[in-house]
């Protein structure tokens, strides 16, 4: 299970670090935002 939350008040996508282990998150992020994975903001504790 992967949670992708849109950060309120910004255009950044926040995902759990563990979620990044699944390649699907990269495709999902690129499809929804059109930006590169490097622009993700990571949560220390999700």
Q: How far apart are CA 14 and CA 29, in angstroms?
A: 10
pLDDT digits (tens, 9 = 90+) for 22-35: 556 666 666 666 55
3-class DSSP state for residue 16?
strand
Q: What is the rounded CA–CA span in Å between residue 40 and residue 30? A: 11
Model confidence over 1-15: pLDDT tens digits?
Answer: 345 555 444 555 555
Question: Can you give the pLDDT at residue 5?
Answer: 53
pLDDT the model gives residue 24: 60
Domain that holds residue 20: 5-43
Domain count, the chain: 1
């Amino acid at each position: 299970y992967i949670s992708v939350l849109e950060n309120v008040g910004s255009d950044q996508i926040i995902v759990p670090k563990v979620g990044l282990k699944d390649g699907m998150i990269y495709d999902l992020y690129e499809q929804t935002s059109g930006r590169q994975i490097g622009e993700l903001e990571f949560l220390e504790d999700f």
